Chain A
Amino acid sequence: MLEIKDLRVNLEDENKEILKGVDLSVEAGKVHAIMGPNGSGKSTLSYVLSGKDGYEVVGGSVKLDGLDILEMEPEERAAAGLFLAFQYPVEIPGVGNMTFLRTAVNSQRKARGEDEISATDFLKQVRERAKSLQIDAEMLKRPVNVGFSGGEKKRNEILQMAMLEPRMCILDETDSGLDVDAMKLVAEGVNALRDAGRGFLVITHYQRLLDHIKPDVVHIMANGKIVKTGGPELALEVENNGYSEILSEVA
């Protein structure tokens, strides 16, 4: 479903190479995890996939269901089914959470040539999905992420994911800053969306999230490259021995 081939990316401003040839394929129905030390390029990968400015793709390709997404605008990628749960969700004063969600859902529908969702169906869906993430009505009314705690922001990301029903979900350190209960809640939200047609790329620094979201494949990223790929046991290896052992092993 998602095919990344030899992806090379520079910072636009500094001509600094950050991704140095990333190869990665996520099949429908599978959960892939990317682990790696800080600064290895995980967030950069997620931003480049979703189309953020400031990066220059100098080589390689990215295809989503066979379509070259690097040529698309961020909103087109979203309508094509790509979703990024941000490591640092942005606060947007003055834009109500509900208005934002409904505009996003309808923009994607419109881009795909579908009808807008009716106001009642939308409300029903939001309430239902917000409830299971323990997001209350008051939070839905507030401006997007403004005054939300770290955990609330992450849960809000998962709510957006649940409402937009993307085919390819990328989660960037969704576990950072969460206590155990909040992490369980988020993991349940993600697990509820797992199905045969949907792929996941779960970026995390620690193994603990992967106790709750069981990955099919684990990749280790270091210095802008995938340096090792394996099964769930690879995450445990990181947990027990840290990154340095794996890195010295592949060096």
Chain B
Amino acid sequence: MAIKQQKFDPIEDATFQVANKNRGWSQKAREGALKRLSTMGMPSRRDEYWKYTNPTELLTEKLSVSPVVGLEDANIFSELDALKIVFCDGVFNPDLSDDLAAENIIISRLEENGDLHWAKNYYGLLEEKAQRPVSRSLAALNTAIASDGALIHVKGKVEKPIQILGIRNNTAEAILHHVIKVEKDCSITLLESGPFAKRLNSVMEVFLDEGASLEHIRAQGRDHDRLAVTHVFADIKENAKFKSFTLSANGMLTRNECVLTLSGDECAAHVAGASVGDGKSFHHDDTVFITHDAVACESRQVFKKVLRNGATGVFQGKILVKEGAQKTDGYQISQSLLLDEDSQFLAKPELEIYADDVACSHGSTSGAIDEEALFYLCSRGISKNDAADMLTLAFLAEAVEEIENDKIADIIVEKISAWLSRRRN
């Protein structure tokens, strides 16, 4: 009798992991997530929610290890004075990290297995809520088996930006789960960068209390073979402000989901992304789901993608305005700049509105470089390549301008410029 090769089953694997390791205070949440996961199953190409992105590569077993990216290379924010929390191969690394003790903020790691932790009541909470109306199995999988993560509790004025930095040495996989809670009227700037792993599954749950604010700036890049699925979940209370910007360059398959609930009156959520991709193997997917569940809230989605040499960009963005969420102001724009005819941009903007006093707008476009503008620049002596780069940066500007901190915005622009000029060589 032939022995049939057993296919790798992520749920079976997760079941084994959860059963065989007690993770202390987070164990109960992990068991709950595993239960959800078993009911939902893993995503497949047949799911409407994965119509444009094939999840298969995010689910297969064991990846071969690929070249190492060192810390210096990973940290595009190195010129900023930030408090660094470093994860190496998916595990917190105290030697590479800064001293986590700082005023008005409590930072700890997920792998602290005591029975009590402030994050006990928060870990997995938003992920669980976000399983309706669509399943996000990979996020539930993350909650169940995350190897580590940063738990950040902001209780007052924080001097420096906090930076989550990921590097890789030996392991191809990393599953990280971060929980950020910002107390009333407090604020934090959170940077996130690094290759983390060849295949990264990351979840960040953000809880913003009344009047709290978070500016999240993330850079994905410099890792050409990146496979990543990330989820940012946020619950935003009255008068709070959530901002998240992601720069994505290179990589193979990246799915960034952002699921936000505006649950307190007069709060705001801005999410933006600039991605640049080159080559047939580049597939970048931004999936955003914003729920307005309070009065007079504002949400903004600004996504821009530059695609060339057969790259694919995907945008799925939804604004759901619940009954009673009057005076909602929702804005969504997704645009692609296709530098050749082989590249493609697939967009699915959606509005679902159950309130009557609402202003929502969305738009999606795909276009090539404006030849008239290109000629105008060249006629002034600017080389065709430089002119094309200027127009490309100009195209991305609307997304980059969403970053409030000018210094950080400058770094992002510099990185994009460097990427553009590297493509020339």
Contact = CB atoms under 8 A, between A and B. Distances in A.
B390 A50 contact: no
B371 interface: yes
What range describes how many residues of B lie at the interface?
A: 20 to 34
Contacts of A52: 375, 379
Interface in B370-421: 370-373, 375-384, 386-387, 390-391, 393-395, 397-398
Nearest to A80: B381
Q: Which of B380, B390, B398 has the largest count of A CB atoms less than 10 A from its CB?
A: B380
Q: Which of A51, A83, A103 has the largest count of B CB atoms less than 10 A from its CB?
A: A103
What range describes how many residues of A lie at the interface?
A: 20 to 34
B424 to A, nearest CB: 15
Contacts of A143: 394
Contacts of A95: 377, 390-391, 393-394
Interface in A75-107: 75, 77-79, 83-84, 86, 89-95, 99-100, 103-105, 107
Given A52-B375, A103-B386, A75 B394 contact: no
Contact of A164 (B371, B380, B383): B380
A111 interface: yes
Given A93-B394, A94-B393, A107 B371 contact: no
Nearest to A90: B376
Contact of B381 (A79, A89, A93): A79
Nearest to A95: B394
A199 interface: no
A143 B394 CA distance: 9
Contacts, number: 81
A99 B378 CA distance: 14
Contacts of B376: 86, 89-90, 92, 144
Contacts of A77: 379
Interface string A147-163: 00000000000001000
A53 interface: yes
Given A53-B371, A92-B376, A104 B394 contact: no
Nearest to A74: B378
A52 B378 CA distance: 9
Contacts of A144: 376
Q: Which of A77, A84, A86, A93 has the largest count of B CB atoms less than 10 A from its CB?
A: A93
A145 to B, nearest CB: 9
A53 B398 CA distance: 29
A108 B393 contact: no
Contact of A94 (B379, B380, B387, B394): B394
Contacts of B394: 92-95, 143
A78 B386 contact: no
A108 B380 CA distance: 8
A44 to B, nearest CB: 14
Contact of A75 (B373, B382, B390, B397): B382
Nearest to A79: B381
Nearest to B372: A90
Nearest to B380: A104
A75 B384 contact: yes
A72 B301 CA distance: 43
B342 to A, nearest CB: 21
Interface string A8-36: 00000000000000000000000000000
Interface in B54-104: none
A142 to B, nearest CB: 13
B278 to A, nearest CB: 21
A195 interface: no
B94 to A, nearest CB: 43
A211 interface: no
A73 interface: yes
Interface in B348-381: 370-373, 375-381
Contact of B377 (A51, A83, A94, A100): A100
B391 A92 contact: yes
B412 to A, nearest CB: 14
Given A93-B394, A94-B393, A95-B394, A103 B382 contact: yes
Given A50-B379, A107-B382, 9 more contacts: A74-B378, A74-B379, A75-B380, A78-B378, A90-B376, A92-B391, A95-B391, A100-B390, A104-B377
Interface of A: 50-53, 73-75, 77-79, 83-84, 86, 89-95, 99-100, 103-105, 107-108, 111, 143-144, 160, 164
Interface of B: 370-373, 375-384, 386-387, 390-391, 393-395, 397-398
5 contacts: A53-B375, A77-B379, A94-B397, A100-B380, A107-B381
